[in-house]
Amino acid sequence: MADAIDVIGAEAVDWAIEKAYTLAELVTEKYPAFRGGPAQFDTLRIATESTVLTGLVEIFDGKLVHWQVTPEAAFHIRDLVHRSIPQVDVLGAIRFSHAMLSDWLMEACRGFVSPTELADHLHLISRTLLFCLDTLSDDVTRTYQAEYERYNKSPLAHRDEALRSVLASDPEDVDVASSRLRYELSGRHHVAVVLTRFESRFDDDSLHSAARRLLRDCRAEQMLLVPDGHSVLWGWGNSRSPLAVRGALTETPGIGVVVGTPAKNVTGFRQTHKDALAAQRIVDFFGIRSHVPHYFSDLHLLTLLGPDQQKINSFVQSELRDLAEAGTSTAELRATLGIYLDNHSPQATANRMYIARNTVAYRLRRIEELLQRPVTERQTELRLALLLRDCATISS
């Protein structure tokens, strides 16, 4: 960035950074396979920033230079290979980004250049970016293929192939699959976790350390830890006896954790992972960055509703009415209602919240005024609306 500022100026660099962020968002919308946690998005954003800045500098210099993969882009390509993102999607994202960047540059050019010089400048932009697209695509292909070959020769590739087979269907020989994974599948209780970095750190063992600590807290006898790129880690723990998941997991600063529902045998190994991934999609959708683990059992209803923000907002408003409003007082009322719906006892609610029973009774009356109906009606809908409202609060 410092080098680019020296050549094209700070204002142009700011423009490039803004457009790179937008490009990263558009790429993840068009190519869902690129999606992941916040750190995976940062890896894409940083790679895009470095590439766009390189292109602007070359356009400013007015010379056609072989556009090589930047170090940041090379790191991102390695991450995509390890996440099994197809090369065709990588090249498709590059072509899509080229088209968007060309449009933006030409639009900006029309605002700065006089009509008599416009044609020459538009031609320069077109010629430079087309050359950049060709050379960059070639370099990306070489970088991708080199990493793909290196990865496929490593022991990790054989383990990952065995894992993909088990996650797709029951293996023909469970003992062979267990041996390849170095993890017992049959006759064990399993729990899956998915850990995601909140920030991109390239050389860091924090995901593995946190996963080992979490699974030990669950009393797991064996662990299987499989990176999904550098920013996400899939983990499993097993035991001959049921696992102690609830209440066992501690906070993990800088790392998001979701936990699947414990289940048994090979089918359970697969199902608890599916649960964890479904919960992770909900956490990502709401942009929740909480250090407290999230459980699939708590988010199950949200996974059925699906990630449609407009529908969610409409549902929350129709069910909670004025109780959905922001503010400390309404937050206290929602918390009281959530605990009351768990036990249907004003006294038990008061004991759990360390407040007087009369305070609970007052709050319940106030809640019914805001809902315009008794709290005994539509309790399932109320629970779901409270959960959705809480997710929106955490994400903001």
Name the residue among 167, 387, 388 with its Cα closest to residue 270. 167
3-state DSSP call for residue 357?
helix
Whole-number pLDDT of residue 394: 44
Residue 265: which region, alpha, beta or left (left: phi > 0; alpha: psi -120 to 50)? left
Structure tokens at 161: 């192939």
The CA distance from 252 to 255, in Å, is 5
| Amino acid 288: pLDDT | 75
Q: What is the pLDDT of residue 393?
A: 52
- Which pLDDT score, from 0 to 100, does residue 152 have? 87
Secondary structure of the chain: what % helix, strand, coil (to 5)?
A: 70, 10, 25
Of the candidates 130, 85, 84, the one whose C-alpha atom is nearest the C-alpha of residue 105 is 130
What is residue 305's predicted lDDT score, i.e. its pLDDT? 67
CA distances from 68 to 65, 102, 131, 298, 371 (A): 9, 18, 11, 47, 60
pLDDT per residue of the chain (396 residues) written in tens, 0 to 9: 888 999 999 999 999 999 999 999 999 999 988 887 777 888 899 999 998 888 888 888 777 666 678 888 998 998 899 888 999 999 999 999 999 999 999 998 898 889 899 998 888 888 888 888 888 899 999 999 999 999 888 888 888 889 999 999 888 899 999 999 999 999 999 999 999 888 765 456 888 999 999 999 889 999 999 988 888 899 999 999 999 887 655 667 788 899 999 999 999 999 999 999 988 888 887 777 777 888 888 888 777 766 667 777 888 888 999 999 988 899 999 999 999 999 999 999 999 999 999 999 999 999 999 999 999 998 988 988 888 887 755 444
In terms of CATH architecture, what is 2-152? Orthogonal Bundle (1.10)
Q: Has this prediction a pTM greater than 0.85?
A: no
Q: Identify the pLDDT of residue 64.
A: 67
Q: Look at residue 204 in the predicted model and tell me its pLDDT.
A: 66
- Rg (C-alpha) for the chain, rounded Å, is 26
Per-residue model confidence (pLDDT) at position 230: 82
Q: Let me know if 177 is exposed, middle or buried by CB neighbors in 10 A (0-12, 13-18, 19+).
A: buried
241 CB contacts (<8 Å, ≥6 apart)? 189, 219
SS (H, E, C) 7-69: HHCHHHHHHHHHHHHHHHHHHHHHCHHHCCCHHHHHHHHHHHHHHHHHHHHHHHHCCCCCCCC
Tell how far CA 280 is from the center of its chain: 7
pLDDT of residue 212: 92
